[in-house]
Structure 1
Amino acid sequence: MKKMILSGVTALALLTGGVIGSGSIGSSVEAAQATLKFKDVPSTHWAAAAINSAVEQGFFQGYADGTFKPGSPVTKAEMASILGRLTDQPNAAIQETNNFTDVPEWAKSGVSAAIVKGFISPANYNGKLDAKASLTRGEMATWLAQGLTVVDSDYKQALSDVSNTVIPAKEYFTGKLASNQKNAVAVALGTGLMSVANDKNFGTDRTTTRAEVAVLIARYTSVAKTKPADFQGLNELRAVGLTGTNLSIIAPKYKVLPESRYPESEDYSKVTGDFAKIRNQELNTVTHYADIKLKNWIIVNPYVKSDARSIYYPVFVDEGSTLLRGAYYSFPEFEISIKTSMNQLQGGSLINSPAINPAISPSSKAVIDYGVSHINSFLGAKGVFNVKKPTYWGLGYLHFDKTLNPRILLERSDGTHFEIIPQ
């Protein structure tokens, strides 16, 4: 896909500053030079380069007092007009009608264009866009994700695939992420379009600033030129959504043994390497203190850097953490139903696997920062569980050294068993 550029200058009747209006662009050189003179955008500003580019391309202009106001919020009408002017964004296959009754005259054509290009779906609104309101990050994620589905149908599939995924944002772990924005947030994070803030929240209710929009224009252009399968983070989110684990992406050496490796007496039809077949299913336990299910299972390789890292690394692992003898981190999410009473030690005896350990939870600072559910929240005096049905994340170690029992065996009550080993 070619670089997205402006389709022309849409007349945006803003009193001052804001999104650039008709007749005010000038030359690209002049716009770039003007950006460099903004009193409130020094060269050290985190979005300086993106602001330069956005002004150069005509998306924004400065204010009469020589400022850009990078922290000022952007309204829905302003953002819709920007998105509607991306010429290389294809039109949506199904065209919806602009039936909004509250869009100011100057923004009507821009909003209509954003609808045509698939960024905004009027069906998600009740006749009013609330066009003058500041655009929230949650709604921004929704608009951008919807735009991507028009660019490549696999993005539409990705939006569906992440419905049951684990999202690396604090709101997910604390139960504060709205269900109608969850999938879009997952795609925004998985593609790198958007990220969490220093407090680990995605900030769905926070407003989107002019500086952020300048950055997002460039990021959207880049993501739209990239296949969904080329984003490891998105691949992980999709895999967890569909199967409950990112094992096949982070630790692909772990596989089910072929039938030839099993004795003839073994019913191989009961053997599976598909975690989805045991996800959320009641598992047989070594002891019988409780019934147990695995909701999700996240694997993190602590040795790789940069883009090769799991998207879940910052959620569970502190920077610089390593393990002995080449092990990976294993983070299973348990749903436990205690029969009478059970202490922490007894919980650890439910499943005999170093990778799937219900006795402890990760103790990293990252886990605390992200609000990941911890076993300690459910333990009372003498380590006895004080609730009957706790749900929390455990900590285990995925081994590759065959002397450390790398085999993983989990069995359902009907005899179906998930059995994998590094090969």
Structure 2
Amino acid sequence: MKKRMITLLAIALIFGACLGWGKPASAAEGSFKDVPANHWAKKAIDYAVSKGYLKGEGNGSFRPNAAVTRAEFAAILDRVSTNEVKANVGSFSDLAGHWSEKEVNEAAAKGFLNAGDYSNGFKPGTALTRVEMAKWMASGLAAKDEDYKTALSDTKETIVPVTEYYKGGLNKADYPYVSVVLGTGLMSGYPDDSFGAGKTTTRAEVAVILQRYEGTQEKAASSFQDLSELREVGLTGTNVKTIAPQLSITDGGLLKIFGKNVNLRNGIATIQIHHYIFIPGSSMADLGSVYGKMFVDKEYMVNPKTYLVLIDETVTPNADNFTYQKYLGAIDNDFKAGFRVEGDVSTKFGYKTPPNDGSHFFDKGKGIRMWSAGMFIKTLPENKDRYSTTVTANDGTSISVVYKK
């Protein structure tokens, strides 16, 4: 009998080891022949394996460059998530008997994915796209914390600081999900500042993202400045309260003036203001705003004593031969606004800004939407305790941006 008990115990231990039971893998156990010591994601891979979020292939390899499938990522999210499981969330028609059936259904029950989005089948072996990944993680955060759910609503109309925002390649319905993952740092763009919505993600990249998600799910949405900016811009058209809280917007706020006609000097043109974006940074390493890379070329610096202000406006000339120089001459405020966005960032991101070579840009009676740049001082001269600029619409509506000591 004793021999039989020992045999059964040995079988159980072997069976458990095969299923990945037991203590987490040590650093040595987490080493893979295809993940050298100098691999950029080695620490994240070893951590993910030690926590049981990811597993090797059983032959000593990890396949760090392999694309992650829908089934794999759903299972991984189920493992890392601290969300509560909710019942009656639907099921997936093509998962019966699949190895991932239980974990995919649990991931859905935790709020990461919706069975209704896959009415033609989940297709578990399909490589997961980056926009799907963004949607799943943002949805999971929203299911856990009501403020993340509100953040998804707040960012429906925001400006997303990726090249696809103006150039195309990112559906408007995906703005909120991409905003949440960018705003929390869960995901980032590529070196060319594109998001790559349709691209896939490797197992190595997922290991890094998982480590971020593990921490992010325990943090409040309000703790992320970038997300706060994206939310404020989506709701109000400006990020001033997040970036420059010492500035006050009076007379009802910028929304009161946005979209209304404002006459330039001598009625030579009218403008409609759509957005004000404030960038406070003093170096390319720390621009201080999620929008910095969108509007500040690496060859140009932001004066540390000022805020760079980007103005999204529609300019409609009322005169023939309206030039950029005439436009600058018609600007009448203390803002020193209306200058072109310097460098190549406008071309990179695909928005318009006035040319600096005198080429034709404006046509009488035709509105052209563009971004111009201005500045606003951060600190007041010793002999002043207030600095302001005012914009007044044709119907008399006005707003003031005021700096007070």
Same fold (TM over 0.5): yes
1:200 is matched with 193
* 2:272 is equivalent to residue 293 of structure 1: yes
1:41 match: 35
Q: Which residue of the other structure, out of 20, 25, 28, is the alignment partner of 1:25? A: 20
The correspondence of residues 286-325 of structure 1 with structure 2, limited to 5 A, is 286-303=265-282, 309-318=288-297, 322-324=301-303
Which residue in 2 is equivalent to 1:351?
A: 331
**Corresponding residue of 1:411:** 392
The change in CA–CA distance for 1:100 and 1:287 in structure 2 (over 3 A counts) is: farther
Residue 148 of structure 2 is aligned to residue 155 of structure 1: yes
Q: Which residue pairs with 1:398 in the alignment?
A: 376
**SS at structure 2 position matched to 1:422:** strand
Q: Does 1:58 align with 2:52?
A: yes
In 2, Cα distance between equivalents of 1:22 and 1:355: 68
Task: Give the whole-Å Cα distance in 2 for the aligned partners of 1:209 and 1:256.
Answer: 45
Q: Distance in 1 between matches of 2:285 and 2:96?
A: 43
**TM-aligned CA deviation for residue 30 of structure 1:** 3.8
CA distance in 2, matches of 1:76, 1:118: 15
Letter in 2 for 1:361: R
Q: CA deviation at 1:303?
A: 2.8
Deviation at 1:318, TM superposition (A): 4.1
**In structure 1, distance between residues paired with 2:206 and 2:176:** 21
Find the residue that maps to 1:163 and give its secondary structure: coil
Q: Give the match for residue 173 of structure 2.
A: 180
**CA apart distance, 1:137:** 0.4
Equivalent residue runs for 1:113-152 within 5 Å: 113-152=106-145
Aligned to 2:158: 165
Task: Give the structure with higher Rg (CA).
Answer: 2
User: For residues 185 and 302 of structure 2, what CA distance do their matches in structure 1 show?
Assistant: 28
Give the secondary-structure state (helix, strand or coil) at the position aligned to 1:120: coil
1:327 is matched with 306
Question: Residues 59 and 82 of structure 1 are in contact (CA less than 8 Å); yes or no, is this contact kept in structure 2?
Answer: yes
Please say if 1:67 is aligned against 2:61: yes
Amino acid at match of 1:338: P
Which stretch of the first structure deviates more once superposed, 105-114 or 320-329? 320-329
Please report the RMSD computed on the Cα atoms of aligned residues, expressed in angstroms: 2.8
SS of corresponding position for 1:331: strand
Letter in 2 for 1:391: R
Q: Does the CA-based 8 Å contact 1:355-1:395 persist in structure 2?
A: no
Picking from 365, 370, 375, the partner of 2:349 is 370
Count matched residues.
384
8 Å CA contact retained: 1:316, 1:367: yes
Which one is further off, 101-110 or 50-59?
101-110
Gap change, CA 1:33 and 1:419, over 3 Å in 2: same
Please report how far the alpha carbon of residue 368 of structure 1 lies from its aligned counterpart in structure 2 after TM superposition.
4.1
In structure 2, what is the Cα distance between the partners aligned to 1:135 and 1:284? 50
State how far apart, in whole Å, the 1-side matches of 2:136 and 2:106 are.
13
Deviations 1:325-381 (A, max 9, x none): 7111111111223345421112224432354733x32123444443343323xx996
Match for 1:399: what amino acid? I
Query: What amino acid is aligned across from residue 225 of structure 2 in structure 1?
Result: Q
8 A Cα contact 1:246 1:299, kept in partner = yes
Runs of 4+ in 1 over 6 A off after TM superposition: 304-308
Gaps of 5+ in 2: 1-15
Structure 1 residues not aligned, in runs of 5+: 1-20, 258-270
What whole-Å deviation, never above 9, does each CA across 1:296-316 have from its counterpart, x for those lacking one? Answer: 111111237978821112222
Identity of aligned residues (%): 31
Amino acid at match of 1:128: G
- Secondary structure of 1:164's counterpart equals coil
- The 1:227/1:244 distance shift into structure 2, 3 A limit, reads same
Contact 2:281 2:287 in 1 (8 A): no
Shift of 1:383: 4.3
The residue that corresponds to 2:4 in the other structure is: none
**What is the deviation of 1:189?**
0.4
- Distance, in Å, in 1 between the alignment partners of 2:216 and 2:34 is 29
Choose 344-353 or 244-253, whichever is displaced more: 344-353
CA–CA separation in structure 2 for the residues paired with 1:414 and 1:148: 44
CA 339–226 in structure 1, closer or farther in 2 if over 3 Å, else same: same
Question: What letter is aligned with 1:106?
Answer: W
**1:335 touches 1:391 (CA, 8 Å); kept in 2?**
yes
Aligned 8 A contact 1:315 1:366 in 2:
yes
Q: Do 1:135 and 1:207's aligned partners in 2 also have CA atoms closer than 8 Å?
A: yes
SS in 2 for 1:73: coil
3-state SS of 1:296 partner: strand
Contact 1:85/1:113 (CA < 8 Å) preserved in 2? no
